[in-house]
Amino acid sequence: MDTPIYDFLRDYASSGTVRCHMPGHKGRGADLGTALDITEICGADSLFEADGIIRRSERGMSALYGTADTFYSAGGSTLCIQAMLAAMKQEGRRVIAVRNVHRAFLNAAALLGLDVGWVMPDYTDGILSVTVRLADIEQMLAQTTNACVYLTSPDYTGRMADIKGIAAICRRYGAPLLVDNAHGAHLRFMPDDLHPITLGADMCCDSAHKTLPALTGAAMLHTSSERYAGVLRQCMSLFASTSPSYLIMASLDLCRRYITEQIQADIDLNIGEIGQLRGRFSGSIGFAEGDPFHITLKAAESGFDGNELAELLRRGGAECEYADRGLVVLLMSPMSTHEDYARLSAALGGALKTAGRHEPQPDGIALPLPERAMSIREAVFAPSEEIPVEDAEGRICAAVKVPCPPAVPIAASGEIIDRRCIEVFRRYGIATVNVVK
Ligand SMILES: Cc1ncc(COP(=O)(O)O)c(C=O)c1O
């Protein structure tokens, strides 16, 4: 019988492709199979009432990250984002968010009926990567009572925000700082500890599965505050499956051991390899600055087409995390090896030699905040229709239509789609949008 998913996975696993994409285990490490896949039997504890083996593991993880508390998620950072925002909803807070949020945030805002105040950043690498002015956050906080601040750092290209500076502003206004650190679970263990909790965030989510050796879906919700430690698990349980995967939780448990015994040496090795790779190619192509494990090639700015480079890399045996016209993101992890970098280096050398060239094009975009016609929740639950992007001017965006990855909004639900949005939709090859009927 045809088993298309399983067959695809088996073929990919045996292809020997260099995995420059999630998950962070890179196909290596403990083989967690069906024998270990159980349910909440006696002695196995229960994630949402944890006081046994799960709790022991979470407390161990909390000690490694230096948090007040840490909770496991088998539903990725998506579930952690839902929980963080639900905790803010309980306190009746208005969410001030830097615009380059992941779709998980918008979906949570719709489910929770949140009113979001947007801080518009400067877009540096298409819609994926931004810089935010601290003064803009402060200005929003000064105008908003009972607020919290939400930001995404690192972003999809690895660029990091000034969390320390933003945390100081948030403290002055009594606003909790929530960080989507889905891409930065490893940051705590870098030579300089750049983890959001260390830098002053009140809460953050880490997708362990993105940059650590953990199964897809494995994430952690951290808090530095005893106040939130008491409510976050219950907030998580609002949205989660009642059958969280023990394999995913076990992979987080094994991650603790990896962090304790091995991560430092692996990070040192990887930083050296990444430095050499960048050194070898920096005369041919630009690299974005930020977290070293995100090797982001600035294709358009260097006179290449990112999609073509990704295809050539694939033919050379290296699969990237993300590509568009402007960028290629190669997501490595501490589990990446010398052999991976040697093969990636050969593939990239070949790709840069054979790829077509064009005039270098700046990848920045201007995307002012579209006008809002209704709330995110109203728009998401309104009757909607899918129409060609070309016909969407003046219509209200219903569901957020963006490719995943990167899943960053061009127009958010409830906003009126204007010409500039349409240009950016086209730039990302988005042909249709969902609009309110
Ligand atoms: C910035 C960002 N936040 C949140 C998420 C959601 O994380 P998860 O896939 O762990 O649910 C992603 C997923 O790619 C992401 O890129």
Rounded average pLDDT over 382-400: 93
- pLDDT exceeds cutoff 80 at 58: yes
Cα–Cα distances in Å, from 74 out to 33, 218, 240? 16, 5, 8
SS3 call for 243 = coil
Rounded average pLDDT over 34-40: 96
pLDDT of residue 403: 62
Distance in Å, CA 103 to ligand 1 centroid: 8
pLDDT of residue 361: 85
pLDDT of residue 124: 81
- The answer, yes or no, to whether any atom of ligand 1 lies below 6 A from the CB of 78, is yes
Tokens of 209: 């599965």
pLDDT tens figures, 298-316: 999 999 999 999 999 999 9
SS3 call for 394 = coil
- The answer, yes or no, to whether any atom of ligand 1 lies below 6 A from the CB of 340, is no
Count helices and strands in the chain by DSSP H and E runs:
16, 17
- pLDDT exceeds cutoff 80 at 206: yes
- Which atom, in ligand 1's list, is nearest to the CA of 22? 14
pLDDT tens figures, 366-380: 788 999 999 999 999
Distance in Å, CA 82 to ligand 1 centroid: 12
Compute the mean pLDDT over every residue in the chain, rounded to the nearest whole number. 95
Cα–Cα distances in Å, from 399 out to 95, 106, 384, 407? 20, 9, 8, 12
pLDDT tens figures, 239-250: 999 999 999 999
Which tops the pLDDT comparison, 15 or 409? 15
pLDDT tens figures, 1-10: 999 999 999 9
Closest by Cα among 239, 235, 233 to 54: 233
pLDDT of residue 59: 98
pLDDT of residue 401: 67
Cα–Cα distances in Å, from 103 out to 11, 77, 122, 304, 427? 30, 11, 19, 28, 19
Rounded average pLDDT over 47-75: 98
- The answer, yes or no, to whether any atom of ligand 1 lies below 6 A from the CB of 182, is yes
Q: Which residue stretches of 160-245 are H helix?
A: 163-172, 196-199, 208-211, 226-229, 232-237
- Which atom, in ligand 1's list, is nearest to the CA of 101? 1
Residue 427 — pLDDT band, cuts 50, 70, 90? Answer: confident
